[in-house]
Structure 1
Amino acid sequence: MEKISLTALARQELASARSAGSGRSAHTVYGGHEHALRQTLIALIEGHGLDEHESPGEATLHVIEGRVRLSNAEASWEGSPGDHLVIPRTRHRLDALADSAVLLTVVKPVGPHV
Structure 2
Amino acid sequence: MITNLTALQEQLLSKARSANAQRAAETVYGGRDAILRQTVMALLAGAELPEHESPPEATLQVLAGSVQLNGQDRHWQLTAGDVIPIPPERHSVRAEQDSVFLLTVRRSVE
Q: What TM-score, normalized to structure 1?
A: 0.92
Q: Number of matched residues?
A: 110
Partner of 1:44: 43
Alpha-carbon distance between aligned partners in 1 of 2:48 and 2:56, rounded to the nearest angstrom: 19
Q: Output the CA distance in 1 between the equivalents of 2:97 and 2:104.
A: 21
Q: Within 2, Cα distance between the matches of 1:105 and 1:14?
A: 19
The corresponding residue for 1:34 is 33
Identical counterparts, % of pairs: 48
What's the secondary structure of 1:21's corresponding residue?
coil
- In terms of mean alpha carbon deviation, does 28-37 or 84-93 score higher? 28-37
> Where does structure 1 lack aligned partners over 5 or more consecutive residues?
none
- Asked whether the 8 Å contact 2:61–2:84 carries over to 1, the reply is yes
Deviation >6 Å, runs of 4+: none
In the other structure, the counterpart of 2:90 is: 91
Partner of 2:59: 60
Q: Distance in 1 between matches of 2:59 and 2:23?
A: 19
The residue number in structure 2 matching 1:78 is: 77
Q: Which has the larger radius of gyration?
A: 1
RMSD, aligned CA? 0.9
Counterpart amino acid of 2:102? L
Deviation at 1:15, TM superposition (A): 0.4
